[in-house]
Structure 1
Amino acid sequence: MTTKVQLISPVNGRVYVERQCADAAQIDQAVADASAAQILWRRRTFDERAALCNAAVQAMLSMQEQIVPELAWQMGRPVRYGAGELRGFAERAHYMIGIAAQALAPIEPEPIAGFRRTIKREPLGTVLVVAPWNYPYLTAVNSVIPALMAGNAVILKHATQTLLVGERFAQAMQQANLPPGLFHNLLLDHSQTAALIASGRVQQVNFTGSVDAGRAMENAACGRFIGVGLELGGKDPAYVRADANLEHAVENLVDGSYFNSGQSCCAIERIYVDRKLFPAFVERFIALTGEYVLGNPLNEATTLGPLVSAGAADAVRGQIAAALAQGATALIDARAFPADLPGSAYLAPQVLVDVSHRMAVMRDESFGPVVGIMPVDDDEHALTLMNDSPFGLSASLWTRDQTAAEHLGNEIATGTVFMNRCDYLDPALAWTGVKHSGRGITLSRLGYEHLTRAKSFHLRHEV
């Protein structure tokens, strides 16, 4: 008997769609078909793989009219921003398709007379991609398209909150005429996912999600000697130096804090501002925050939608309440956002000052529209606070001094250092983290190294 999954929409708290999880026979058949299809797929040229992957991308883009409102219903993203995720999806996919041949080209060491020496990159086999709901197309494409381009088969297990995204991927692959069996979308519960990983029938797991779920992935893979790529979120800091362009910093940091209702692994969750700029920065930050329109994400006027669930919103409310009890000051009056109702998924943005690292709101991932802002004395003070975290996904520096930014960046324990921007993934750069933000790499040519294995050829000429 399989598990029935109900997708509860954050828009109205009602069931949006229902599906059945895959049963054991369906899982076994999918894994067997993927393994068989991959043997032939790995022999295809890069040009052949690229043509089919590009066709899949175009097929997905052709569904935009249906995808945008689906996203709003499934996870609360305002419809005015839905097309942006598909643009990012295409940007990452096209970049990774374009560099595949070069990234996976054989390495030829310096010649030695009488020998041919080469290092080739071989596909791993079947890659299991476990994707989250918050950026459901962007996070999945980071692994799905590169895995296929590297010669692997792919099984996609998407979050139940965005299960229609997995179905859209399957539809796009089918429309592109990918070889049968090469790509599968499976709706699995947690125990089924763990069992598939533990079976040893997949050779790589790429997971994006919480720290606790990342630990579960590692536990399931224990003893299987397979790769496990983990992107586990963050508590990303920003530092606004005294020489920063104040207006530019405020505009971008407000967006970096509240876009997608703050439900981003690389959202700005804590801000450190040079003490001389602190009053002006906070004043402008509050003013711009007040311009958000919280409401139904299906309305074009809405700029801030609900969190993914009422439970998620209540968790953020609890974090804010705890900070206030410890002496923090809230600068936004939630009554200015009538849609913010206790117990609902709709939550007003909040700015907290008089905060410290004793508070969970400055230590633990919030994953919601709240940010704490602290004054700092100098670069060293800011650096100490930025590194005072169990997370390390990205960090942003706001300054006109690139030399200072590079110096500080060298000292920050993080996967990505931004200067004068934030909350963005450049597909040409490695997306990675340190500490509890995970390990492994997606995107860039380095991402291909985690989807392939090295094979050395040491060929001696006839003697």
Structure 2
Amino acid sequence: MGQVLKCISPVDGSVFAEREVLSREDAFAAAERARSAQAAWAARPLQERIDLVMAGVAAVGAMNDEIVPELAHMMGRPVRYGGEFGGFNERAGHMAQIAAESLADIEVGEDASFKRYIKRIPHGVVFVVAPWNYPYMTAINTVAPALIAGNTVVLKHATQTLLVGERMAQAFHSAGIPEDVFQNVFLDHDTTSELIARKAFNFVNFTGSVGGGQAMERAAAGTFTGVGTELGGKDPGYVMEDADLDAAVDTLIDGAMFNSGQCCCGIERIYVHESLFDAFLEKAIAIVKGYKLGNPLDAETTIGPMANVRFASEVRSQIAKAVEAGAVAHIETFAEDDGGAYLTPQILTNVTHDMRVMREESFGPVVGIMKVSSDEEAIQLMNDSDFGLTASLWTKDVARAQAVGDQIETGTVFMNRADYLDPGLCWTGCKDTGRGGGLSVIGYHNLTRPKSYHLKKVTG
């Protein structure tokens, strides 16, 4: 028997699911089947591919009553929040809606002598490596547009959410998408790297840790295989003196704590103008003290366990080191905090950028809050990071938000909102957050290649 992947449930530490990884030979065979199926899939009319993908999306929605508790078991999100189908459907639906225009030929010009245009050509086989924190929504970001554009897709999901890829494959196949066109696979790291290094795929999309992204790029080195990555984040919020205070507190603290802080674009550090700092802090503490930590299968639970004990251990370590260095922790340990996956959400003040909790990704329910006196100070602090995914600005002045936003090193600038992915906009990052972009018309451009036609007519 080969290596077995095990999903350890954060609810009680039990093995919730396990699957054996594919052998090297079976993995390469799966990739070859995807390659063999691609031309016929791309030859289907665009509308047919769109209809099949959206039927697959609807089939996932039909499973939602089973999916929601399954997610709670696998990664700890409380059932009260109802799963991910709303965003899953919104993202796929938007990409379906803009497909014809996004994939249309770019007409350069035609006259009596020449016809010139640029086509968007599918890469071929797209390999999607998806994370556990929003396992359906992050996967569909690439799966839907890749299939619609005429690629075949091989999906490898995170071990923590082992059953998600199976669910998606079952739904898409039931809707009529051929099994070789969309495959879910279980792979170990070595086989994954070898597949990439041996050019089994034409494009790789990875969402996960910085180390994981570096491993993908190393595997692809010299192959000229495109690699798109969305990696770590340390997303800031900045509350200006004219902000709607209640809205800023509610949104930023929710952005920091929802999903136990395990959000790609979660808020991990907040900078508040000195005139609002005390009021912001008081309101933030009251919100967090009102959370109910507990079993995610309990409808009363508002914050569940972190997905894995080792993730919680890292957050505890960051908090402890910060407090040792002078930070103030404002939330007393909850009775339900078991020292394992069940972790008390925490607000820290008197923090500095010398502390790990303000520099390294926490990916947990902790946020540091600092006082600032000017836009210039806030901009310097927001940019003092190795990451750049989103930034959330709070002001009534759109022009001011635009001016500040232009100076921030980030992929998305929010004003008066946070922690949301708009499928009409490119989802992208800079610095160690990675490169490339998903969704929007740019998502289609990244999942296809341009092919130019320069056709000289015979006129005589």
Q: Does 1:282 align with 2:293?
A: no
Equivalent residue, structure 1, for 2:380: 384
Structure 1 residue 437 and structure 2 residue 436: aligned? no
What displacement does 1:112 show?
4.3
Deviates more, 1:170-179 or 1:207-216: 170-179
1:70-89 equivalences under 5 Å are 70-83=70-83, 85-89=84-88
Q: Give the aligned partner of residue 29 of structure 1.
A: 29
Give the distance between the partners of 1:233 and 1:428, measured in 2 at CA. Answer: 22
The CA distance in 2 between the partners of 1:268 and 1:388, in whole Å, is 15
Alignment correspondent of 2:452: 456
Aligned-pair CA distance for 1:28: 2.3
2:267 match: 268
Match of 2:102 in 1: 103
Which residue does 2:39 correspond to in 1? 39
Q: Which residue of structure 2 aligns with residue 231 of structure 1?
A: 230
Q: Distance in 2 between matches of 1:365 and 1:333?
A: 23
Secondary structure (helix, strand or coil) at the match of 2:186 reads coil
Which residue of structure 1 aligns with residue 54 of structure 2? Answer: 54
Offset at residue 26 of structure 1 (A): 2.2
In the TM superposition, what whole-angstrom CA distance separates every residue of 1:5-28 from its partner, at most 9, and x where no partner exists?
Answer: 121100001111121111223212
- Of 332, 337, 341, the residue aligned with 1:340 is 337
Structure 1 outlier segments of 4+, above 4 Å: none
* Equivalent residue, structure 2, for 1:407: 403
| Contact preservation (8 Å) 1:330, 1:351 | yes
Matches within 5 A, 1:53-452: 53-83=53-83, 85-334=84-333, 337-342=334-339, 344-452=340-448
- The answer to whether the Cα contact below 8 Å between 2:130 and 2:206 also exists between their aligned partners in 1 is yes
Contact 2:28 2:200 survives alignment (8 Å): no
Distance (Å, rounded) in 1 between the aligned partners of 2:192 and 2:200: 12
Structure 1 residue 247, shift from structure 2 partner = 0.4
Measured after TM superposition, the shift of residue 254 of structure 1 is 1.1
Task: State TM-score, norm by structure 1.
Answer: 0.98
Contact 2:18/2:162 (<8 A) preserved: no
Q: Is the 1:109–1:117 Cα contact (8 Å) retained in structure 2?
A: yes
Larger mean Cα displacement after TM superposition, 176-185 or 71-80? 176-185
Q: Which runs of 5+ in 1 are unaligned?
A: none
Question: What per-residue deviation string (whole Å, max 9, x for no partner) do you get for residues 395-415 of structure 1?
Answer: 000000000000000000000
CA distance in 1, matches of 2:128, 2:278: 45
Residue type at the aligned position of 1:402:
V
What's the secondary structure of 1:42's corresponding residue?
Answer: helix
3-state DSSP of counterpart to 2:107: coil
The two structures have a TM-score, normalised by structure 2, of 0.99
Deviation at 1:267? 0.4
2:337 alignment partner AA: D
Q: Which residue of 2 aligns with 1:5?
A: 5
1:438 is paired with a residue whose SS is coil
Question: Which SS does the other structure have where 2:192 is aligned?
Answer: helix
* DSSP-derived class of the 2:377 partner: helix
| Matching residue's letter, 1:341 | D
Q: Which amino acid aligns with 1:35?
A: R
Alignment RMSD: 0.9
- Unaligned 5+ segments in structure 2 are none
Displacement of 1:31 in angstroms is: 1.2
Aligned-residue offset at 1:201: 1.4
